[in-house]
A and B are shown apart, each in its own frame.
Chain A
Amino acid sequence: MSEAKSMSPQSQASQTLAFNMKLLAQHEMEGFGGMGEGINMQVTKDGRRIIWMAHESAPKNFTALDVSDPRKPKFVIQTDLPHGDVRSNSLDVVGNTMVVAYQTKGFNNKPAGIDLFDITVPEKPKLISHFDASGKFSRGVHAVWFDDGEFVHMASGAPDFEPTHDKDDQFYRIIDVRNPSKPTEAGRWWMPGTRKGDSVAPPPRLKIDGGYRAHNTNVYAKQRPDRAYVGYIDGGGYILDIKDKSNIKVVSRWKNAPPFNGFVHTVMPLFSKDLLIVTEECVRDNCADWPKLTWVLNAADETNPVPISTVPLPSPESFGKRGGRFGSHNLWENYSADCAWKSDNIILATFFNGGLRAYDLSNPYQPQEVAYFVPGTPKLSPKGAVQINDVYVDDRGVVYCQDRFTGGLYIVEWTQ
């Protein structure tokens, strides 16, 4: 008897769903296809396109594939972590420099911080330096943003930072890497009340307590070198004035919780449209924290961002039971590198078992879904459904997205 007969809806997680997108190739990362939320591209001197990806968890650190021919990705290198209680999860690449995050399972463990690598020869990444963020109350670094080649913006703990709550350990830190062999802190900001000794009371815990800490810390140096767009999980989204990195000020804060379940992940500006795209992250399986939305905010007045729509998602009735998480997570973030595709009109976002979805924001009050790609359950998937975690788009229009557990990398093109 087939699997379908035992299910009432006719949709099956094993079925690939695609609209206006086509799979070019899948790479299972030599059997370690559980990928995090760090994916970026390097164009080497000899013109090869190398895609670098951080693994979601140990034992692997990062993997590089040559995607010059997106139909035939070629394995370049895969590295190991020193032990099982650390994960990289996040990385970024500018030119021939790569920054990799390290976060430990508990406090006071190592490595917890960032590594800088020289990847001029992708087959032989050379460690330039390690910036240590470990400490008595630190798990190190969860996510990095490195786009201008000068500063790393990150969600990080610090040896001198004691949070008022264990979940509030990672805050916004700026690391100056202009001398990559000697990274130094250039600035930091945390939500008032999250550090012991703050003059304000700690923030109230949400029903589903995700913590008050930084996640994505985007800075677009070409357009607004004086602004950081920070997802602060249960604290909502912040626009920060970083003109003086040593004296960071709040421009505005937008809160989704309550009534929603917090966990603001990314705040991405679309400058030409005066919009912010704000994603929440789904962190519970089977829609236990539904809804997890991707918001469109009007930010014409950056001191008062106003939500105007959310992107249309498929119904939780259909996807909630497919297995694993279903809801918003990462965005394609318009990196500034020449090899990165950029658009203020089309956004691409990942939704775990809802796959990769693209929206047209020509009318920001009514975002239109224009494409999606939801791979069928990857082999050996522990969740029984794909969990698309992050996305990259190159200047050829080729789209890369990855599974959180076993599926590795999916390379997709828009049908033309």
Chain B
Amino acid sequence: MDAPVLGRSALSGRIPVSVVTGFLGSGKTTLVNKLLKRPEMNRVAVIVNELGEQAIDNDLVEVSSEQMMLLNNGCLCCVLRGDLQETMRDLFIKRRNGEIIDFDRLVIETTGLADPAPVMQTLMTDTMLQSQYRLDCVVTLVDAVNGLEQLKTLSEPVKQAALADRIVITKTDLVDESKAAALEAILRELNPRAPVKRAVNGEIELAFLIDVALRSMQSRLEDVERWMGADNAEDHGHYGHDEHGHAHRHDTNVTSFCLRYKEPFTWASFSQCMEVLGTLRGADLFRVKGLVNVAGHKGPLIVQGVQHLFHPPIELEKWPSDDHETRIVFITRGITQQTVGNLFSAIASVAPVAAATAST
């Protein structure tokens, strides 16, 4: 038996990050401030924009400095000052030095208008942050009162919902059930792979916001399915085998689909496909997540991208099941399954070694 190679795992050796996003007034601050006080927030650091009206009671605070508060449940609350990247670096360095609690999870509240894509891209491409943190989950809050209207008229809320791994509908107590149900239906259509929950007054369990992305080089099938959203897609667990792409009755033009390939790719041909898509349609390529079978590799390569930027691929130790087919989930705006399929076929035909032909 080979001696185990000890070192930092590219998955478990990184601190997982949950990004909480949502449009202005969607209740992010309420949700985060409620979350701060929950007992399961022990060893969680939270970067908040501001401490809202229901700011932390003094008797919950163990230690506080200008920028940080340690709450008595073990949660570290840090107010964003200036640059998020700087704040994240600073947190990690202080943690390493033993100057702050040894947090093993980070939750970031984005600003209201924010497009979450740059935050996600930062985690994928900032080499220093990338070596300390990994993106675990994007949680998008949608306000039940204004959500329907916002999704119809504004592009940011649509993108926020499309990029999400988890969706939380807030303020459902302020609208009647039919309105909430209509909003939920639209969100499920917009992003069928993201589980949707309702929350009143920011009451939500931490468990809904964490442990979405792959956490270990020895990930199991259920981990992969949770990450790719197979358990929520309306295609009954077969994520994309014969999926036609979700027809969009709604005028958002957002669609999601899964491509599967039996034959292994070469890394050159696969990355070429992604590069072409990213270069020509980056703005419309909201999110890509996949397990890719690349010739010569023992395990699947984990691929993930947001628009034109991709995280360096990570090879799992082994395939999580006997199914060694490449599977890639796309969430796009106006790029159809057929367009992407054609591109893959075209590149495969140029590089026949790849022998990548769609299995469907």
Contact = CB atoms under 8 A, between A and B. Distances in A.
B98 A4 contact: no
A415 B9 contact: yes
Given A10-B63, A10-B101, A318-B99, A341 B9 contact: no
Contact of B6 (A10, A318, A322, A397): A397
Interface in B106-126: none
Given A10-B68, A395-B3, A370 B8 contact: yes
Contact of A370 (B7, B99, B218): B7
Interface residue SS majority, chain A: loop
Interface string A385-416: 00000000101110000000000000000111
Contacts of A272: none
Nearest to A358: B6
Given A20-B9, A341-B6, A397-B4, A416 B100 contact: no
Interface string B1-21: 001101111001100000000
A358 to B, nearest CB: 7
A416 B9 contact: yes
Contacts of B216: 415-416
A4 B63 CA distance: 7
A360 interface: yes
Contacts of A314: 96-98
Contacts, number: 87
A19 interface: yes
Interface in A314-370: 314-315, 317-319, 322, 341-343, 345-346, 358, 360, 369-370
A393 B68 CA distance: 38
Nearest to B65: A10
A371 B3 contact: no
Contact of A414 (B6, B63, B101): B6
Nearest to A13: B98
Contact of A15 (B4, B13, B102, B217): B102
A18 interface: yes
Interface residues of B, number: 27
B8 A416 contact: no
B99 A416 contact: no
A319 B13 contact: no
Contact of B13 (A4, A5, A9, A20): A20
A2 B62 contact: yes
Contacts of B218: 416
B7 A346 contact: yes
Given A4-B62, A20-B13, A10 B70 contact: yes
Given A4-B62, A4-B63, A416-B216, A11 B8 contact: no
A191 interface: no
Given A346-B6, A370-B13, A416-B12, A11 B96 contact: no
Nearest to B102: A17
Interface string B41-65: 0000000000000000000001101
B98 A20 contact: no
Contacts of A10: 63, 65, 68, 70, 76, 99-101
A374 interface: yes
Contacts of A370: 7-8, 13
Interface in B180-229: 216-218
B4 A20 contact: no
A396 B4 contact: yes
Q: Which of A16, A341, A346, A414 has the most CB of B within 10 A?
A: A414
Interface string A42-54: 0000000000000
Given A16-B102, A17-B102, A341 B4 contact: yes
B91 to A, nearest CB: 12
Contact of B8 (A4, A20, A318, A345): A20
B97 A315 contact: yes
A358 B5 CA distance: 13
B8 A5 contact: no
Contacts of B102: 15-19
A371 B6 CA distance: 10
A19 B3 contact: no
B338 interface: no
Contact of A342 (B3, B8, B63, B68): B3
Contacts of B4: 341, 395-397
A393 B100 CA distance: 29
A374 B102 CA distance: 10
Most buried by B among A5, A10, A17, A360: A10
B279 interface: no
A247 B57 CA distance: 74
B16 to A, nearest CB: 12
A86 to B, nearest CB: 36
Contacts of B12: 20, 415-416
A9 B97 CA distance: 11
B72 interface: yes
Given A20-B9, A414-B6, A415-B12, A11 B62 contact: no
A332 B218 CA distance: 27
B96 A319 contact: no
Given A17-B102, A18-B102, A343-B6, A4 B70 contact: yes
B217 to A, nearest CB: 6
A371 B100 CA distance: 17
A7 B317 CA distance: 44
Contacts of A371: 6, 8, 13
B288 to A, nearest CB: 26
A19 B100 CA distance: 14
Given A416-B216, A416-B218, A11 B100 contact: yes
A15 B101 CA distance: 8
Nearest to A415: B12
Interface of A: 2, 4-5, 7, 9-11, 15-20, 314-315, 317-319, 322, 341-343, 345-346, 358, 360, 369-371, 374, 393, 395-397, 414-416
19 contacts: A7-B63, A10-B65, A10-B100, A11-B99, A11-B101, A15-B101, A17-B102, A20-B9, A315-B97, A315-B99, A319-B98, A341-B6, A346-B6, A370-B13, A374-B98, A395-B3, A395-B4, A396-B4, A397-B4
Closest 6 CB pairs of A and B: A397-B4, A415-B12, A20-B13, A11-B98, A318-B98, A17-B102
Given A11-B99, A315-B99, 11 more contacts: A4-B62, A314-B96, A314-B97, A314-B98, A317-B97, A318-B99, A322-B98, A341-B6, A343-B3, A370-B7, A397-B4
Interface of B: 3-4, 6-9, 12-13, 62-63, 65, 68, 70, 72, 76, 96-102, 104, 216-218, 317
